[in-house]
Amino acid sequence: MVIAGKERGKQGKVLKVIPEKGRALVEKLNVSKRHVKPSRQHPHGGIVDKETTIAVSNLMLVCPSCNQPIRGRKRFLEDGRKARCCSKCDELLDR
């Protein structure tokens, strides 16, 4: 879920996180139509859908179990692994 910026209030699936840039690529969000000139990458030019990244600080997780926007909370599991879990219903978010 996006909590800030022009896409605020929308939800999408996080496709990719780029930790070194602090940004994430979110499905169907921030898609900008780009007119491209013919190039090696786009031999015929035209219009392409380009999904742009969103700053991670503008994003929030939505718990799949209780459907609440939550702040991921790190918790140690019994086997010693670290996992993120819902701060409301304790559902594990990393599997």
Contacts with Zn ion by CB under 5 A lie at 63, 65-66, 86, 88-89, 91
Nearest-approach distance from CB 70 to Zn ion, in angstroms? 6
Taking the least distance from each CB to Zn ion, the nearer of 51 and 91 is 91
Nearest-approach distance from CB 72 to Zn ion, in angstroms? 11
Nearest-approach distance from CB 64 to Zn ion, in angstroms? 8
Taking the least distance from each CB to Zn ion, the nearer of 54 and 85 is 85
Phi-psi region of 30 (alpha: psi -120 to 50; beta: other; left: phi over 0): left
The candidate with the shortest Cα–Cα distance to 32, out of 54, 17, 58, is 54
Taking the least distance from each CB to Zn ion, the nearer of 5 and 69 is 69
**Euclidean distance between CA atoms 49 and 33, whole angstroms:** 5
Both tokens assigned to 95? 């599997």
**Euclidean distance between CA atoms 83 and 95, whole angstroms:** 8
